[in-house]
Structure 1
Amino acid sequence: MNDIDPQKFWKSRKSRSGGGRAPRRPAVGLLTVAALLAAPVPAAQAQVAGGGTVVRTDAGRVRGEVTAEGRQFLGIPFAQPPVGALRWSAPRPVAPWQGVRAAGEFGNRCVQGTSWDPGYERPSHTEDCLDLNVYVPQGVVRGPVLVWLHGGGLTAGAGEDVVPDVFARRTGAVVVTVNYRLGAMGFLATEGLDGEAADGVSGNFGMLDQQAALRWVRANIGRFGGDPGRVTIAGESAGGRSVCTQLASPTSTGLYRAAIVQSGAYNDCSARPHPTATAQGAAFAERLGCSGAGTLACLRAKSAAEILAAQGGFDWAPVTGGAFLPTQPAEAFANGAAARVPVLNGANRDEGRMFAFASFDVRGTPLTAERYPSVMRAAYGDGVLARYPLSAYPSPTIAYGTAQGDGLFACAALRLDAVLATRGPVYTYEFADRTAPPFASLRNLGTDFDFGATHVNEVQYLFKHFGLESPLDAEQRALSRQMVQYWGSFLRGGVPRADGQPAMPDRPGLVLSLRTGSAGGNVLSATTAQEHQCDLWDAQKSSVSP
């Protein structure tokens, strides 16, 4: 897709050392408390739900802390560190510990490079990173559970990228954020690794980490006040793609009862065919000087820094052909071989503006009117150029970004709505607040570029993105409260609703447009596909590739 990868433009947080633990941020923000659910529970569980900071997990006790929003337990390991001989192996249950383990700081971020996000100025070379964080609203008993999978292109990011303590308090939900292996560490497939895999297919280690975290939740979340029978998996961008992939995975059956996909349907949630993945793995190994019978031992002897330095330019994504993902997600959805659970799915109106900005303006080479036709033809062909005339947009970059966003995100989300609707309810939205402040990474660039409702921008309306308070005005704060209500009612097992607002629809082709009051407020739209020219993109979707 002309030098753009929708997974690689976000990450953030200050760290004390490359690959070390990030400093814990204080809880901030004051929003009204939502009504909490109540149900009989065992006495020991009720005691924990009443505000205890020491909780016994199946591996040992952890000590969290009380915050202004409730309780939080940070950096809890859910699997053994995937180091040494366990590098590139399926996650194994965490070893029990004695005493009480401190859970007051985030764990290590998984191996990844730097990015433009604040706090990711240094790489992480730490493989001991399979931790999760639990946010518990005060007094919750058998509350719904949200498990959040972070974005970052399957090559970057961490569970700490969102702080959902206010969201948890307002919805009465227990929220879990998860780390999982990234890049080559999470998605390398080789013949040698195939030989170690029970099903003969390697390359899904990061996805298996996510499932291990969900099994930890099923076994332990009741002790934190959550209901293991009401777990919703959710994520944005690569996190949303992960949710889409888990929906298609037979081995995730029973680990959740609902799913939320935010800007995650791009490329129709496609995975790498196994032969493609192993060919890429062989090329990656050769880049590191590993070949022949000793390839796997050679790779495991390389440092994390060497692995990270060599992974650029490869596609790190899930792999089809094994027990985890027998077939492509789109095929699984179409054939009915996917989880039959309620789904909340959507995208942002101006997804592509950020990527276009990253391709041109941020590099100091804004797209000009003279270059626009040739750039569009090279990326999409004459047919798309004719449908996106420069005269219809305020700048060449925005025109190009509009085409990107329509083709890669908006129409893919609508296609996913249609195919998922054959096997259960699918509630649909489009985040369309063009007045939204750019999220922190973009704000820090000091640019006056009009990002509109671009990729990632909705996250700050739900959570403290990167642990920060976003500069929302009164109307934007009202929309934020409404979005939290929509998401919260879905978590509790109902139709997504907000006070005084239209319910989120469950009908293919009808979309809830999320907007501020000055822009007309939240409305149901039957014209989203036409506005994003989906007839064009659906006809040539194979040409749109990140």
Structure 2
Amino acid sequence: MSQFASVFVVLLTLFLFACEQSSDEIEVNFVELKQGLLKGRIIPQLGVVSFRGIPYAQPPIADLRWRAPKAPQPWKGVKNADDFGHKCMQNALFSDMQFRASGMSEDCLVLNIWSPVERSAGPLPVLVYFYGGGFIAGDGSENRYDGADMASNGVVTVTVNYRLGVFGFLAHPELSSESGYGGSGNYGLLDQQAALIWVAKNIEIFGGDPSKITIAGESAGSISASAQTLAPDSIPLIAGVVGESGSIMGRFVTPLLQSERQGILFAEAVHEGEDASIVALRNIPAEELLARASEAGFEQLMPTIDGKFLLDSPQKLFAQKKFADVPILAGVNSQEGSFQQLFAETEVNQENFLLALQQLYPDAYERVAALYPGETPEQLKLAAQDLMSDRFISESTWNWIEAASANGKADSYYYLYDHVRPAMKSIYNGGADVEITDLGAVHSAEIEYFLGNLDVNHIYHWEKEDHQVSLVAQQYLINFIKTGNPNNEMLPDWPSFQTNQQLIIKLQPEVVGVEKLRQRYQALSSL
């Protein structure tokens, strides 16, 4: 009898037993892991079962703070997987983050799985999603990342918690000396990798195919996904990758020595006394450490070239073809940054545009102005928006798909998401009316559309057009996860990036060339 068949027998037996015991237990489902017996909850209207808060590593507390994640411990009896568990240590920063976590703690290394109840067609493709939040916030319990709708469309969906801020990305000479590989930092990325390894080992029990795992994420999650494609222990596990706004091919990674120096400054700043050792820092309670780090200005730390997870700079690893050469679906939103970030309170005109560029590019502001042309206030707003979007995150996303396409053989698909999200409900804005002033799709606006979660996230005034855009965007994503290609006969054709084209995702999708974009990014990178 195969492993899948054996698991099915266990599932069926336990399910029937539950039905006999109590009518209250009919809407549950059981799986048996090496860690122990797990009870999930069926969502009958979708035909999906969810398993929440599954530990994939030991809690990184006490002596395990700032260490690579350790294998999880088994539990006794039946673990009730209907609680998302704790979100990782973070401050409340972003109003669009709606958590369902039961609290906050360092004990947060859990993942959540949604899978179809009936799966007679055999093992299903898997989506492993990493949340965004600048490596300082976010959680797998957020409504917008809910995996139920994706699972109802035949994709086993997983969201992963990983350490954030100083808990997830602190590098320090003492940590490097004790690590066994001469580096430190990247604990949040190592958490993601440990979850990916856990999924590869266990997802078949949930109906998933371990050979068809697509990793994905938005913002910091997209940066993470791109970084995972460069990590030696992650590469063999990845069948495809989706990146929504961001990559490691930008300003989001630092050399080890630089990160270690920052770690020393952090230790000196947050420790009240002469002892600024790692041992002393590990004795500070998590809530107090978070508060001290925030007060001292060390809330956000970036990934590091640590010699274990990242062996070298991302640029060199791509050039040396040391990456997962798998299909990529990646892109950015049309308003990742805003024109106000450039103009501030000044009037939008050409004079102020050039003055602002001169502040950013003293020796090349005229060249930059030529790359982002505009004459009227409306044109200048869009030009400034494009520039600030590129500086923030769009250029790094482009650099990733360009490097992967130039050095690999797998097809890539690039998009610009350009559907303006509706206004937030006033109840979530302090009771005040919310006016839409966006000139495009703001950072993170695409998440609910791609994952089919408009009805799960209640904070916006979704309209018919939003559901139409979501239907198309989600189907592209589902096709890509299942086949490595977003296309089918029911959708507008999405040419591969190798044809020098991208898809504009909006109410009426449109294919456009990328040569002007390529020229812009090549020129920008030379400044």
Interval of TM-score (by shorter of Structure 1 and Structure 2): 0.7 to 0.9
- For 2:38, give the aligned amino acid: V
For these two proteins, the number of residue pairs brought into alignment is: 491
Q: Residue 328 of structure 1 is aligned with which of 284, 293, 313? A: 313
Is 1:476 aligned with 2:493? no
Residues 461, 393 of structure 1: alpha-carbon distance in 2 compared, 3 angstrom cutoff: farther
Q: State the 1:193 CA deviation.
A: 0.6
Pick one of 202, 206, 212 that aligns with 2:194: 212
Equivalent position amino acid for 1:458 in 2: E
Q: Is contact 1:48–1:224 with CA below 8 Å preserved after alignment?
A: no
**Alpha-carbon distance change, 183 to 435 in structure 1, aligned in 2, over 3 angstroms:** closer
Stretch moving more, 392-401 or 253-262: 392-401
Deviation at 1:247, TM superposition (A): 0.8
Alignment partner, residue 523 of structure 1:
510
TM-score (norm 1): 0.82
For residues 250-289 of structure 1, what are the structure 2 equivalents within 5 Å?
A: 250-265=232-247, 268=250, 270-289=252-271
Residues 1:441 and 1:535: Cα distance change in structure 2 (over 3 Å): farther
In structure 2, relative to structure 1, the CA distance for the partners of 1:435 and 1:378 (3 Å cut) is: same
Deviation at 1:82, TM superposition (A): 0.5
Aligned amino acid, residue 359 of structure 2:
A
Whole-Å Cα distance in 2 between the matches of residues 508 and 441 of structure 1? 44
Q: State how far apart, in whole Å, the 2-side matches of 1:367 and 1:75 are.
A: 49
1:441 and 1:508 map into 2 onto residues whose CA distance is 44
Task: Indicate the RMSD between aligned Cα atoms, in angstroms.
Answer: 3.1
Q: Given that residues 438 and 451 in structure 1 are in contact (C-alpha distance below 8 angstroms), is that contact kept between their aligned partners in structure 2?
A: no
Q: Write out per-residue CA displacement over residues 161-181 of structure 1, whole angstroms, 9 at most, x where no aligned residue.
A: 2112112212x0100000000
Q: Does 1:452 align with 2:440?
A: yes
Evaluate the alpha carbon distance shift between residue 236 and residue 529 of structure 1 in structure 2; reply closer, same or farther with a 3 A threshold.
farther
Deviation at 1:291, TM superposition (A): 8.3
Matched, 1:163 2:139: no
2:114 paired with 1:135: yes
Q: Return the alpha-carbon distance in structure 1 between the equivalents of residues 28 and 424 of structure 2.
A: 34
Q: CA deviation at 1:493?
A: 2.6
Alignment of 1:65-104 (within 5 A): 65-67=41-43, 68-69=45-46, 70-104=48-82
* Residue of structure 1 aligned with 2:479, choices 477, 489, 496: 489
Secondary structure at the counterpart of residue 146 of structure 1: strand
1:447 Cα deviation after fit: 3.5
Matches for 1:118-517 after TM superposition, within 5 Å: 118=96, 126-140=105-119, 141-161=122-142, 162-170=145-153, 172-265=154-247, 268=250, 270-289=252-271, 295-312=277-294, 313-314=297-298, 315-353=300-338, 366-369=345-348, 372-381=353-362, 382-383=365-366, 384-385=368-369, 387-388=371-372, 391-394=375-378, 399-421=383-405, 422-437=407-422, 444=429, 446-463=434-451, 464=453, 467-469=456-458, 471-498=461-488, 499-507=490-498, 509-516=500-507
Bigger shift: residues 266-275 or 344-353? 266-275
Could you tell me how far 1:154 is from its partner in structure 2?
A: 0.7
Unaligned 5+ runs, structure 1: 1-38
- Identical residues among aligned pairs (%): 31
Distance 1:477 1:278, change over 3 A: same
Task: Output one character per residue of 1:403-441: Cα deviation in whole Å (capped at 9) or x when no partner.
Answer: 111344444333322210121324223233344326789
Question: Structure 2 length normalisation: TM-score?
Answer: 0.84
Distance 1:43 1:324 in 2: 36
| Structure possessing the higher radius of gyration over alpha carbons | 2
CA contact (8 A) 1:367 1:396 kept: no
Q: Which amino acid aligns with 2:360?
A: A
**Distance across 2 between alignment mates of 1:154 and 1:301:** 23
The alignment status of 1:45 with 2:8, answered yes or no, reads: yes
The letter of the residue matching 1:79 is A
2:46 matches 1:58: no
Query: Equivalent residue of 1:229, what SS?
Result: strand
Measure the CA separation in 1 of the matches of 2:426 and 2:256.
35
In structure 2, do the counterparts of structure 1 residues 110 and 508 end up closer, same or farther at CA, with 3 Å as the change threshold?
A: farther
The 8 Å contact of residues 204 and 319 in structure 1, kept in 2 or not, is answered as yes
Q: In the aligned structure 1, how far is the partner of 2:425 from the partner of 2:177?
A: 44
Q: Distance in 2 between matches of 1:295 and 1:125?
A: 25
Paired residue type of 1:449: T
> For 2:111 and 2:464, how far apart are their aligned partners in 1?
33
Q: Output the amino acid matched with 1:524.
A: V
Name stretches of at least 5 consecutive residues in structure 2 with no aligned partner.
16-26
**Is 2:125–2:155's contact at 8 Å kept on the other side of the alignment?**
yes
Q: Secondary structure at the match of 1:345?
A: strand
Deviation at 1:296?
Answer: 0.9
